[in-house]
Structure 1
């Protein structure tokens, strides 16, 4: 792992050096206050409308004296955080919700946001910046604050270049193939133009019956375009190129290459993910926090929730061993912070199981945030947890006060409960939705709590 990491850093020095280009800023966590920015804008193809209100999830990690910046404030959700979860004495700031600029950039360029953050830094003596996705904008904000206050500012995440690489599906596919073996990843190709993409799609469809084109640095299935053999039948290269680019641009793609062309896996039984924490290399090896099974919806496989995995011991050992090797390589190359690795578990015609690694989330995620939040609220990692992130059948929005009223005694109360349902973010403003986690002393009990929650909500809507 050391040799591979050193070679990658030698070929691309900015993996390590770009974290050292910001005077007054260090990678890591300080002893003062923290700033949490849960904005998803910055991930390719994500718009403020797509991100919705999920940037509030990182507020569940805040402590007294910290600050949280969101695109659109929800007084009802902030009241829920205080009353049920004891998250008080936290300063919430609202950015410009419809502005396509990332919130970290708005914090640097808007005096209305920069001034209170500077005040917080001066009062606390240091400030640690936690971003859902760490980009150059977060490091630039850290540098601007450090320069204005003459005080240390920390970034709890990877360098901008390292962040970009680990979240690139093509880069991850390449290193996973080298570290875990050529059979550990699905057939995949780089396509540097429309004709190349069309040719690769036609080839893979002949082999597997279905192909997928992915914008490699997007997430949550936002950049996944799936094609079947029937859709390609009779299409020439020019027609296929046109259809591909039309569908990509409809998803928000702006014409960047390469794109990923791969098979759409058949026989998939489960979508496991390995949740990890990667400390600085000097502070110990990567830590596996848990193995989860993801629940996905739709043709493109959109994330809809997760639970602790139920896998064979052999599969768990293989996933953990591969993840530890990949995590060790990332760590040696300069990565720091939360990281999750996604795979699919296939059943081959022979009956054997096959693991294929799909992507790395070099950032916080819809699983790691509730897991960390539940651990902080309970004082220990929950033995059972179910996470849901989905729209409900009703078209009418179901606000936080209404959700609290419906769920009632099922809700987790900090200091009073040993189990319960935790609301993770406000619902979508235009449609009924639920983003929540059920935690308990065992997985079966957590499943039962979430089932009871859905029964109550379904009856109410």
Structure 2
């Protein structure tokens, strides 16, 4: 029997930790040392104790779902970015409230309820906060009295309680929770990691150091942090010796937007003045602020990558057991940009490698759990070498949040009871022919291929629906009898959309 977790259907048989008790003690000691050396971990436990769940409910509570990703660096150039928050609809259940700063999307509630059978939720539009990014939803909610009035009334209708289920545990979410608890006098719980561990897990430099402690040097990227441009210049020159490529990364960026990849030979050829100007220009372009942003990650860009798997974890409260692994996936990237995420499929790697991925990820997950992590977590990794028979696993980054693989995985589990029940490929389409197309028209035009939960007919499930009209982008899961057919249908989907919408 499946267990319900605030809008997330978890697998009945996930992968569990498989190691001796002594190893658990070692991992717990690492977490204790990290907390002892950084008092913010324990300080936040006290600050937000009333909001942090010690156990999960057995039945669906009234939930507020907001996908606020405003602490992720360098996203503001993405077209239609505020509408990416519509991904929260995939986690909503009957009676839930989804909120965002984007305009209502006619037809989305009908699609989720009638077409997919996920229940009917409601949408609450928030006025963006002055001086904040338009997609900073929680900052907007704290200042929008009309939206707060609606939320407080919905709480009153549900035993004066609400569960926040955010995209990530950013500080604005927790501060909003404290404010709402004070104003309502009710119960507010937040299904997310505490803000400081959220920030740390999404920091590539911090992950590298914790990976070394938990798993050993060989599992970590060849990377160092830099807190100034001059330090980045010195470390970039040093790390460029004897390798083919190097990179600079914003430590808290996503989707490759904060990554620069450079030929190491060119770095070695530059004199000090030229290299300083080069790094300064890159930092200016990425709007990196040495005084306020996390340190840059200066890395060797591995060129012998054989596979780029990701692991998907669910981290419950400590009282409910250890972190579990729900899936291992192979990531797909843009053909000419091997750092820009395109989609994912269930991993085709040999089982021993999947086992290694599972157990090493769960070790990191245990440390995170002890530091105040709760909810969805995933890791991006690479296998390097000349053959998978003796490949080396390296941890590239942690997605301390929901993401491009966990969202469709969880949606598939909600639809079919287990994402492994149907071969599928999660991808996306972006075309100017879709700009301005309403979601209602989109559904009517593609009615013959869109999956219907009641009849079982159709092979395409769409989500991230809000981006359709403003930017011509939509994410799609294609189903198949096998992975080959699911993959082919991604191409078919693009062809049919292009043909029917006149692209």
Same-fold status (TM-score > 0.5): yes
Give 1:405 deviation, angstroms. 4.1
CA distance in 2, matches of 1:258, 1:417: 49
Could you report, residue by residue, the CA deviation over 1:62-97 in whole angstroms, capped at 9, with x for unpaired residues? 112110012213224344334422455422012346
Give 1:212 deviation, angstroms. 0.7
1:46 aligns with 2:84: no
Aligned to 1:281: 318
Q: 2:474 aligns with which of 434, 437, 441?
A: 434
Write out aligned runs for 1:118-129 (5 A). Answer: 118-125=152-159, 126-129=161-164
**Contact 1:391/1:434, CA 8 A, preserved across alignment:** yes
**Matched pairs, number:** 461
CA distance in 2, matches of 1:109, 1:119: 17
Give 1:239 deviation, angstroms. 2.4
CA distance in 2, matches of 1:312, 1:349: 12
1:77 aligns with 2:108: yes
CA distance in 2, matches of 1:76, 1:246: 45
**Secondary structure at 2:157's aligned position in 1?**
helix
Residues 264 and 397 of structure 1: CA distance in aligned 2, closer, same or farther (over 3 Å): farther
Aligned to 2:378: 340
Give 1:444 deviation, angstroms. 4.0
Deviating more after overlay: 355-364 vs 81-90: 81-90
Could you report, residue by residue, the CA deviation over 1:323-344 in whole angstroms, capped at 9, with x for unpaired residues? 1211112112221100001101
Q: 1:330 aligns with which of 353, 358, 368?
A: 368
1:173 aligns with 2:179: no
Aligned to 2:183: 148
**Contact 1:387/1:436, CA 8 A, preserved across alignment:** yes
CA distance in 1, matches of 2:418, 2:329: 17
Could you report, residue by residue, the CA deviation over 1:279-337 in whole angstroms, capped at 9, with x for unpaired residues? 11110121111100111225461111111110012211211121121111211222110
CA distance in 2, matches of 1:23, 1:123: 25
**Contact 2:439/2:469, CA 8 A, preserved across alignment:** no
Aligned to 2:21: none
For the aligned residue pairs, the C-alpha RMSD in angstroms reads 2.5
Aligned to 1:385: 424
Deviating more after overlay: 389-398 vs 128-137: 389-398
Aligned to 1:316: 354
Write out aligned runs for 1:50-199 (5 A). Answer: 51-73=81-103, 74-96=105-127, 100=133, 102-125=136-159, 126-199=161-234
**Secondary structure at 1:208's aligned position in 2?**
coil
**Contact 1:52/1:428, CA 8 A, preserved across alignment:** no
Residues 300 and 261 of structure 1: CA distance in aligned 2, closer, same or farther (over 3 Å): farther
Aligned to 1:35: 64
CA distance in 2, matches of 1:375, 1:444: 20
Residues 441 and 107 of structure 1: CA distance in aligned 2, closer, same or farther (over 3 Å): farther
- Structure 2-normalised TM-score? 0.85
Aligned to 1:454: 494
Could you report, residue by residue, the CA deviation over 1:382-428 in whole angstroms, capped at 9, with x for unpaired residues? 43221113424758555434543453332122233277321111234
**Secondary structure at 1:410's aligned position in 2?**
coil
Give 1:207 deviation, angstroms. 2.0
1:26 aligns with 2:55: no
**Secondary structure at 1:450's aligned position in 2?**
helix
1:413 aligns with 2:442: no
- Structure 1-normalised TM-score? 0.92
Aligned to 1:241: 276
**Contact 1:382/1:439, CA 8 A, preserved across alignment:** no
Deviating more after overlay: 120-129 vs 202-211: 202-211
Aligned to 1:210: 245
**Secondary structure at 2:448's aligned position in 1?**
helix
Residues 70 and 434 of structure 1: CA distance in aligned 2, closer, same or farther (over 3 Å): same
**Contact 1:270/1:293, CA 8 A, preserved across alignment:** yes
Could you report, residue by residue, the CA deviation over 1:159-216 in whole angstroms, capped at 9, with x for unpaired residues? 1111111111111111112222211122111112112211222222232121111111
**Contact 1:42/1:133, CA 8 A, preserved across alignment:** no
Give 1:273 deviation, angstroms. 0.2
1:223 aligns with 2:252: no
